Structure 1
Amino acid sequence: MRKLRIKAVIIRAFRVIVRSVAIACSLLVLPIADASETSGSIGVLYSGESTIHESVIAELEKRLNRILTIGGVPRVVRYDNEQLPLNNATHSLWITVGLNAALQTKSLERRTPLVHGLLPKLSLETFLKDVDGSTQSVTGIHLDQPPYRLLNLIKLAIPDARDLGVVLGPSSAESLPELQKHAKRLGLTLHIEQISDQSELIHALERVLQKGQVLLALPDPLIYNRFTVQKILLTTYRRRVPIVAFSAALVRAGATLAVHSSPEQIGRHMAEEAASLLRTPDNGRFRIQAPRYYSVSVNRQVARSLGLNIGEAEELLNSMLELEKQHQ
Structure 2
Amino acid sequence: MFFRRRLSIVRRLRNVAQRVLCPLLAVLWLSPVWAQGPLYAASDSPSHVVFLAGSENISFNLVFRKRLEDALPKGIKLARYTTDAAIKSPDSLIITLGASSLNDVVQQNPRSPVLALMVTESQFAQYQTIEEQTITALYLNPPLKRQALLGQQILPQATQVALLARAGDEQQFRELAEELARYGLELRVFTVDNPQSLVSTLSRALNFGDFLLGTPDPEIYNRQTIKHILLTTYRHNRILIGPERAFVQAGALASTYAPTDTIVTDTAQIILEYVRSGQLPRAHYPDDFAVLFNEQVARSLNIPLPDRDSVLQALKRLESSSTGVGNE
TM-score (norm 2): 0.75
Assess if the C-alpha contact under 8 Å between 2:48 and 2:77 holds in 1: no
Percent sequence identity is 24
Question: 2 CA distance for matches of 1:275 and 1:144?
Answer: 24
Structure-2 change in CA distance of 1:127 and 1:174 (3 Å) = farther
Give the match for residue 96 of structure 1. Answer: 96
Structure-2 change in CA distance of 1:54 and 1:204 (3 Å) = farther
Larger Rg: 2
* Paired residue type of 2:120: P
Assess if the C-alpha contact under 8 Å between 2:51 and 2:86 holds in 1: no
Assess if the C-alpha contact under 8 Å between 2:81 and 2:94 holds in 1: no
Give the match for residue 79 of structure 2. Answer: 78
Q: In structure 1, the residue corresponding to 2:176 is in which secondary structure? A: helix
Tell me the CA shift for residue 225 of structure 1.
Answer: 0.8
1:233 matched to 2:230? The reply is yes
Question: 2 CA distance for matches of 1:247 and 1:178?
Answer: 21
Give the match for residue 251 of structure 1. Answer: 248
Question: 2 CA distance for matches of 1:181 and 1:84?
Answer: 48
Assess if the C-alpha contact under 8 Å between 1:143 and 1:290 holds in 2: yes
1:117 matched to 2:117? The reply is yes
Question: 1 CA distance for matches of 2:185 and 2:225?
Answer: 27
Give the match for residue 69 of structure 1. Answer: 74
Give the match for residue 308 of structure 1. Answer: 303
* Paired residue type of 1:58: K
Identify which of structures 1 and 2 has the higher relative contact order when contacts are C-alpha pairs closer than 8 Å and 6+ apart: 1
Give the match for residue 48 of structure 2. Answer: 40
Question: 2 CA distance for matches of 1:318 and 1:311?
Answer: 12
Tell me the CA shift for residue 91 of structure 1.
Answer: 5.7
Aligned counterpart in structure 2 of residue 187 of structure 1, from 184, 189, 199: 184
Q: Which runs of 5+ in 1 are unaligned?
A: 1-36
Question: 1 CA distance for matches of 2:277 and 2:171?
Answer: 33
Question: 2 CA distance for matches of 1:171 and 1:261?
Answer: 29
Matches within 5 A, 1:4-23: none
Deviations 1:103-154 (A, max 9, x none): 32444483x5432211122221113322426xx4x32222121111112212
Tell me the CA shift for residue 186 of structure 1.
Answer: 0.9
* Paired residue type of 1:128: Q
Question: 2 CA distance for matches of 1:48 and 1:38?
Answer: 28
Question: 2 CA distance for matches of 1:274 and 1:196?
Answer: 42
